[in-house]
Amino acid sequence: MDVEIWTLSSLYWTLGSILALLGGLVVMGALALVIQIGRHRRQAKITEGCRRRVERLLNRVQAQGMEAITDGDAPRRRSHRRLMGQALMERLEAASGGEWERTSRLYTRLGYVDRDRRLASSRQWTRRLEAMRRLYSLVGFWDRALLIKGLEDHPRIRLLSAHLLVRRGEMDDAVDALNALELTSSLMESPVYAMLQGVEDVRLKRLLTELDRIRDSRVRRALVVSAAERDVDGLEDTLRKLRASEDVDIRVGVCLAAAQRGDEFAAGLLEELLADPSWEVRAYAAKSLSTRSSQERLNTLAWALNDPAFWSRDGAEPSSDPAAIEGEATPTDDELCYFHEYLDNAVRWIPHFTGEQTPVIRQKSTTVGRGAQ
Amino acid sequence: MNTYVDYFFLFYCLVMAVSTAVLILLATREIRTWRRAALRELDRHVLAEKRTPPVGIIVPAYNEEVHIADTVRGFLDLEYPDHEVIVVNDGSSDETLKRLIEAYDLVATERYVNRRLACQPIRRLYRSRRDPRLWVVDKENGGKADALNMGINVTRCPLVCCVDADTILSPDALLRMVEPFLYDPQGVVAVGGTLRIGNGGHKIRDGKVEVSVPDNWLARFQIVEYLNAFLFGRMGFNLLGGNVVISGAAGLFLRSAVLEAGGYFRDTIGEDIELIVRLHRREYETGRRRQVIHLPDPIAFTETPEDLASLSRQRDRWHRGLIDTLWQHRRMLFNPRYGKVGVVVLPWYIVLKFMAPVVEVAGYLWFLWAVVSGFISWGVALALLGAIFLWGVLVSLQSLYVDHETFNIYGEASGRLKLLWVTLLFNLGYRQATVFFRLQGLVRYLAGVESWGLVRRKGFQLLEGGAR
């Protein structure tokens, strides 16, 4: 090709068009930014007005009841309605108790719940989630069909739906909700614990009877531990049964549940679990026992001297809290004695960690056999 | 010959413009998605739940005596139910350790440290009597990567947040960053957030960090540059599933994944980008496909260089880090085994990041030569330059617009108008200077230079009316 592209006359036209287009877009962009500043200022003013209006309406509700609110109290203009909804949600997030209830009822009365219900069926999952987030925050919101549908939706919508179904739904729906959760890591258990925190004791006990129907071992674990935390009756049989489970997660859950109880049954169970074939279970059992009374603690430390798993030994480690070091909570001589032996054994493990050799562990006469790591 | 060179430059400009436009579209959608998807309603449950995964904040510190006590206070005060702060004093030659001992009443203590990641030996381990969540490791000097490895070894938390000693995290930073780990069944190995510039001073009001536009023009240009990089580049790649950069100033990692990957490499300059690429690589090689996520939320504030010499050293080092990472992971390039990261993202970095300074400088020179030799007229030359300039302005305007519409941390109109001016001037000199610094980085990489280079900082300023 021997034609220089710069000499083509069409180039001038093309370049000129591109320049004009870009120049126009830049001017429009700059103008849009200036308009945006003005719009935000105006919105801030309206939002402030909406906040004051919400305050007035809430005062009226408190004084005269919900009957004092009429359809005319909802803003007419669409943009104002949206900002009023936002102001109500802000208020809901910050409120609790009676105020939360009043704000929720006001939100419903002004017609926002109907809008959110419609949006909860939107084609865009982010819109559905946004609507579900708002509905979730309301006192007493209930729409079984919507929530059941939510269990098959995006994981975040699923979680919010499950929260409500587990707390208020029929037992079958609650079990379905728990089964809809997909906990692929132990980090994901935390929202399930949070969900179960909000469940009443009687309901939690009923859920515990449905334990066999729950498929995910992490969810089952969370249920058992939450029940133990709340000291639900009849947990002993369940724990005894689950102690023999083949699932390590469940056996760890038994340790965690037993750790919540200060009785002899739990201590015995934890001591049994110190002989578990899984080092994770042993580590949790040692950790749980190490926080108990002195005699149990000594036994734990005795185990720790011999356990080949680092975390089992570590679980039984006496506190390295500076307060303890400074003598505010002085360990007993026996504890210190065990601790020094413990450290001594730990030193022997150093070559193992550096890959140089396998250590020889000093055995204590008080120990019994246990599985390998 | 001239024609082919002309075509090459034109084609390169087109690729750059089209890819930026695509990234803008993807990023705008992604930002909207993440804004709607944040489950703030569950925050109070997460905060109240004692089983929320503990986070270990690792703060590598080398000669940070001036600010270390304040920054550690900021980390301890974050809204989160269970976090510890591990400051790793990397053999500082100043009084960093002394300041910490005085401010937090540190006492020497013991803890088993399983040194799975290679690092220099510990001199002593301290714990605060004032706040037991604070641990300080005093160790031999070994560099930032070495100090981070030590911190990861010391903590027992399943999540580690690696930060710089001069970073300010927004109060809800950990809550926002931990969300994907709690709610995403696909699994996550690392989460980063948008880094903002705090040179103009900051204040915390109603749990939100507000910053002012700095007086220094170099810092102002960097605001626009960071917005382009974080809001568009990284959010766009998020949607493609292959974000490869999480800023070293603030990132949350799954500790087990980092340990499995071998931690930070100590012999690379860009240890942060290298780790992320290695994490991606491992996920593909093991068939797990857990994600690296970048959040649009402004979670961290950093101080940027305010003089050209420091800026030059910083950009030079960043570019050497990028080249080093691309070279170390060259097997991933165009390799379908590594999915979108291998086929789209890394090649994009090669073409539009690694090659950009070379092509851009060569383009300017060729252009000048063409004008001087009479291949093109001055009119056409100016029109082409104008088009490139306007395109750059348009991209920056778009970043600014999206930022104001979503996060709006420069709330006041005066600050936003100042930034509007900055977007107009950004492409007149500043961009070209950074191109030159990056070219310098390439030359120095080829020459085998491995130094970090000192970046002069003056420290953060707390504005009136704000709380720490």
Angle between helices A217-229 and A171-180 (to 10 degrees): 120
Residue A263 belongs to a domain with what CATH number? 1.25.10.10
Domain ranges of chain B: 1-37+166-252+260-468, 40-50+61-154
Residues A239 and A370 in one domain: yes
Number of domains present in the structure of chain A: 2
Among A126, A187, A197, whose Cβ lies nearest the Cβ of B37?
A: A126
- Determine, for residues A26 and B115 on separate chains, whether the beta-carbon distance falls below 8 Å: no
**Residue B120, SS3?**
coil
C-beta atoms surrounding A346 within 10 Å:
18
Residue B181 has pLDDT above 90, yes or no: yes
Residues A117 and A244 in one domain: no
pLDDT digits (tens, 9 = 90+) for B354-368: 999 999 898 888 888
Nearest CA in chain B to A92: B41
pLDDT digits (tens, 9 = 90+) for B325-342: 999 999 999 999 999 999
Q: Residue A115: which domain range? A: 38-123
- Determine, for residues A37 and B184 on separate chains, whether the beta-carbon distance falls below 8 Å: no
Instruction: State the complex-level ipTM.
Output: 0.84
List all residues of chain B from 17 to 76 with a beta carbon under 8 Å from chain A.
Answer: 32-33, 36-37, 39-42, 45-46, 48-49, 51-53
Can you give the pLDDT at residue B115? 82
pLDDT digits (tens, 9 = 90+) for B110-164: 887 888 898 999 999 999 999 999 999 999 999 999 999 999 999 989 999 999 9
Within 8 A of B420 by CB-CB distance, chain A residues are: 30, 33-34
Residues A238 and A368 in one domain: yes
Rounded percentage of chain B residues whose pLDDT exceeds 70? 95
Nearest CA in chain A to B403: A33
pLDDT digits (tens, 9 = 90+) for A78-89: 888 899 999 999
A276 to A272, A318, B324: CA distances (angstroms): 7, 22, 48
Assess if residue A76 is contained within a domain.
Answer: yes
Give the confidence band of B207 by pLDDT, cuts at 50, 70, 90.
low
Per-residue tokens: A33: 């930014």
Assess if residue A251 is contained within a domain.
Answer: yes
- Determine, for residues B39 and A18 on separate chains, whether the beta-carbon distance falls below 8 Å: no
Assess if residue A165 is contained within a domain.
Answer: no
Can you give the pLDDT at residue B327? 93
Assess if residue A115 is contained within a domain.
Answer: yes
Assess if residue A116 is contained within a domain.
Answer: yes
* Cα atoms in the Cβ-side hemisphere of radius 13 Å centred on B136: 31
Assess if residue A162 is contained within a domain.
Answer: no
Q: Is A182 on the interface with B (CB under 8 A)?
A: yes
Helices marked H in B136-286 — which ranges?
A: 144-154, 173-183, 217-227, 235-240, 255-261, 271-286
List all residues of chain A from 59 to 88 with a beta carbon under 8 Å from chain B.
Answer: none
Within 8 A of B397 by CB-CB distance, chain A residues are: 26, 29-30, 32-33
Block mean pLDDT (10 aa), chain A, length 373: 53 84 94 93 92 92 86 84 91 85 91 92 93 88 91 94 92 94 90 90 90 91 90 85 87 89 84 84 81 61 60 55 38 41 46 44 31 28
List all residues of chain A from 18 to 57 with a beta carbon under 8 Å from chain B.
Answer: 18-19, 22-23, 25-26, 29-30, 32-34, 36-37, 40-41
Residue of B31, B40, B42 to mutate, interface with A, max A Cβ within 10 Å: B42
Single out the residue in A67, A96, A123 at which a domain terminates.
Answer: A123
- Determine, for residues A346 and B112 on separate chains, whether the beta-carbon distance falls below 8 Å: yes
Of B406, B445, B32, B399, give the one whose Cα is nearest residue B222.
B399
Assess if residue A25 is contained within a domain.
Answer: no
Of residues B291 and B206, more confidence is placed in B291
Assess if residue A163 is contained within a domain.
Answer: no
Can you give the pLDDT at residue A2? 46
The sign of the torsion formed by the CA atoms of A65, A67, A68, A74 equals positive
